[in-house]
Amino acid sequence: MGTLRAIGAWIDRRLQLAAPIREMALHRVPRSTASWFYVFGSVTFVLFLLQVVTGICLAFAYVPSASEAWSSLQALNHEVPAGWFLRAMHFWGSTFMVGVLLVHVVQVFLFGAFKFPRELTWVFGVVLLLLTLGMAFTGQVLRFDQDAYWGIGIGASIMGRVPLVGAQLVHLLLGGPIIAGDTLSHFFALHVFIVPGLLLAFAGLHIWMVLKLGINEWPMPGRLVTRERYLEQYEELTRKDGVPFVPDAFQRDLTAAGVAVLAVIVCAAWLGPSGPSGPPDPTIVQAVPKPDFFFLWLYAALSLLPPNLETPLLLTAPVIVLLLLFLLPFLSGFGEKSWRRRPVSVLAVLLVAVSFAALTRLGETMPWSPHMEAWSANPIPARALAARSPLERQGALVLQNKQCRSCHALGGTGGQRGPALDDVATRLTHDQLIRQVLQGGGNMPAYAKNLSPPEVTALVAFLETLRREGHSPARDPAQRELRLDSAEPSSPPHR
């Protein structure tokens, strides 16, 4: 023991790191911050380090070439010992990192930690959030499969909406005029060198500032932040009611980091790696591209926005959101910190969370996507065909063959882009059905050119039978008047 101590002392006399490390570990923090609410930042950083480790491991087998990347992932999944596990760790690590980071952002926001004097800590935090999302997107591209190929296409199509320099931006993103080998090389350099390098640098500065300025104290309603008094008050708080960072606060960070890494391991071992899906061969057009879950909300929003608002919103919304995030500490840098007295902030968080969750849920189910196999795969329910005339049954065939069910459900199966047809006859009259089929409208194509008059007659005859028992068919009041008129031409108009 004495020898070890002597060796340690010999090293530190030269390295001179023991004193600053001890000072860092024992610096006093407000007692209230030794809380489970304060672990998310450090957990995110630990998950990032885990990503670095698993990422480096993957780089030993991954081939960043458009022609080989996909097969090298297959080899990692199926041939390289434990390769599947490392891929799974990297995927679940990224998922957890994004998730925990979002919790950290919300916590910091609700606890008013962005206020004086921690404005720059917040600004660098926003940069870290963007870099992390950048890692998520570029990483998804390195999994160079069908989803990745069309995912880059979606990115390029968004870029292409930028006025004046759209084409140049598309070419910069793709590393050329089209998705090809150069695209993957670009994304590899971004994902492996540039973005993680920036992440490490900004995370270092972020943590440095947390150490130098002190961790944000637990906000108390009514304790306002002022430029004159805050530093003094904080210093007094840590002196009177402070605890050393190690072990009082650190033990929670340590435990939470252990739980998070174990959770990643369990998910990786249990649920396995993500993909790769089909090979990145664009000639396989039977692809149904779908982004990873962090971008599903955007994918859903792009479907639900009115088309004429889409480009303006795509171009302005990110700018506005970024400006708000970056300017937040300068717009609201003083005053009340506690969420109990910041109702607008709480509502803003709830609004964002609910929108995010709802859009993500919609992005998972994709009710707007046509069910392209429905016409041949989903039969017409038997009850819709029982006791029907030959004409009506012919109409059912037209419905099936003209692929109406790509967008219209019947008996619970088929697309959901358009309304379900189970009770269409209670909503549309005979004339309205004909008009809708021929002219389309309301986001339905017109079928006038594509259906012969007998086909339209049969189809509409079948559609008119589609209503629930006991529900009466849609009626056209004007039609009835006309019929009454023609039946009793002599009777005076009823007033």
Site for other proteins in 130-159 (CB under 8 A): 149-150, 153-154, 156-159
Q: In this structure, what are the phi and psi dihedrals at residue 170, rounded to the nearest 5 degrees?
A: -60, -45
Q: Is 15 helix (H, G, I), strand (E, B) or coil?
A: helix
Question: Does the protein bind other proteins through residue 194 (CB under 8 A)?
Answer: no
Q: Considering only 81-89, 202-210, 224-232, 275-283, which stretch makes contact with other proteins by CB under 8 A?
A: 275-283
DSSP assignment of 430-445 equals HHHHHHHHHH--SS--
Question: Does the protein bind other proteins through residue 368 (CB under 8 A)?
Answer: yes
DSSP assignment of 370-383 equals --TTHHHHSPPPGG
Question: What minimum distance in Å lies between the beta carbon of 447 and other proteins?
Answer: 8
45 vs 332: CA distance, rounded Å? 27
31 vs 217: CA distance, rounded Å? 8
Pick 65 or 429: Cβ nearer other proteins: 65
Binding mask 56-75 for other proteins (x = CB under 8 A): ---------xxxx-x-----
Question: What minimum distance in Å lies between the beta carbon of 439 and other proteins?
Answer: 12
CA 299 to chain centre: 8
Question: What minimum distance in Å lies between the beta carbon of 160 and other proteins?
Answer: 3
Binding mask 425-444 for other proteins (x = CB under 8 A): ---------------x--xx
H-only helix segments in 60-118: 69-78, 83-110
Which position among 41, 112, 125, 280 is part of the footprint of other proteins (CB under 8 A)? 280
DSSP assignment of 23-87 equals HHHH-EEEGGGSSGGG-HHHHHHHHHHHHHHHHHHHHTT---STTTHHHHHHHHHHTSTTHHHHH
Cβ distance 211 to 180 under 8 Å? no
Pick 92 or 295: Cβ nearer other proteins: 295
Question: Does the protein bind other proteins through residue 414 (CB under 8 A)?
Answer: no
Question: Does the protein bind other proteins through residue 377 (CB under 8 A)?
Answer: no
Which position among 129, 200, 305, 420 is part of the footprint of other proteins (CB under 8 A)? 305
Which position among 233, 332, 338, 369 is part of the footprint of other proteins (CB under 8 A)? 369
Question: What minimum distance in Å lies between the beta carbon of 407 and other proteins?
Answer: 7
Q: In this structure, what are the phi and psi dihedrals at residue 249, rounded to the nearest 5 degrees?
A: -90, -40
Pick 47 or 159: Cβ nearer other proteins: 159
